[in-house]
Amino acid sequence: MEDMSLTERAVTTDDIKITARNVQVYYGDTHAIKDVNVDILDKTVTAFIGPSGCGKSTFLRCLNRMNDTIDVARVEGEILLDGEDIYDKRVDPVQLRAKVGMVFQKPNPFPKSIYDNVAYGPKIHGLTKNKAELDQVVEDSLRKAALWNEVKDRLHAPGTGLSGGQQQRLCIARAVATSPEVLLMDEPCSALDPIATAQVEELIDELRANFSVVIVTHSMQQAARVSQRTAFFHLGNLVEYDDTDKIFTNPSDSRTESYITGRIG
């Protein structure tokens, strides 16, 4: 099937990048994530799928402590990045988010130039010594995000003046500029047309050479195209987590089967 072409390159590693143990998330009295345990592999694209409201975004936000920014949210359990507890009091969430970058549903470039959007992270984290190094990081990041050729002659134009697909690739460039180890993507293509979606999907496949990528998607076709591992969530539970091919061809749980065949969701 043509749609599966990106996943023909199989998982290349067994290295675990993120471990979640007994994770619970509450919003006030709402128990949104129920005892989730999962090992997320390095240099692999992992898709989170499931019906609306099942907790995909909530769990994704646990992985770089974005839930800290929501007053009513409470996270319990353990999440380890390379064996280190990211909820340890000594961990600075801003530093953590440089290592575990995030791309959101709607492209959200800063109201700054294309150059400054990408240079912002390396500047605030002091990652470069001089202007020449910063220029290089900006160029490398825009190349990794497959945007360099389209913007190299207008780096000082506003990022908000780009098309939606270009803005999303700019946000990806901004996220990769701090050399993250993990890239979290929350429905990164939902605001994009099919051509821009295809470009971002290609890019996701390339990024996994360097990063662990976790993507929330409503599109099962997209999960099948871009991921090697898939986690199916339902009512706050992680129902099934396996190789993407297995989830879509021979799921173990009847709830997963109902979802992929369109009976729930």
Ligand X SMILES: Nc1ncnc2c1ncn2[C@@H]1O[C@H](COP(=O)(O)OP(=O)(O)OP(=O)(O)O)[C@@H](O)[C@H]1O
Among 49-57, 144-152, 168-176, 238-246, the segment contacting ligand X (CB under 6 A): 49-57
Task: Determine if 234 is a binding residue for ligand X (CB under 6 A).
Answer: no
- Give 107 or 122: the residue with its C-beta nearer to ligand X: 107
Of residues 53, 136, 152, 249, which one binds ligand X by CB under 6 A? 53
Q: What is the DSSP string of 183-201?
A: EEEESTTTTS-HHHHHHHH
Paired residues of 100 in beta bridges: 182
Task: Determine if 222 is a binding residue for ligand X (CB under 6 A).
Answer: no
Strand order in the sheet with 229-234: 100-103, 182-186, 212-216, 45-49, 229-234, 237-243
Of residues 17, 56, 97, 234, which one binds ligand X by CB under 6 A? 56
- Give 4 or 72: the residue with its C-beta nearer to ligand X: 72
How far CA 53 is from CA of 33, 56, 156, 177, 237, in Å, comes to: 10, 8, 40, 31, 11
Element of type H or E holding 20: strand 16-27
Among 6-14, 50-58, 149-157, 169-177, the segment contacting ligand X (CB under 6 A): 50-58
Task: Determine if 72 is a binding residue for ligand X (CB under 6 A).
Answer: yes
Site size toward ligand X (CB under 6 A) is 14
- Give 18 or 142: the residue with its C-beta nearer to ligand X: 18
Among 37-45, 53-61, 75-83, 199-207, the segment contacting ligand X (CB under 6 A): 53-61
- Residue 201 amino acid letter: E
40 alpha-carbon distance from chain centroid: 12
Going by C-alpha positions, the residue among 169, 174, 211 that lies closest to residue 46 is 211
Residues in contact with ligand X by CB under 6 A are 27, 30, 32, 50, 52-58, 70, 72, 218
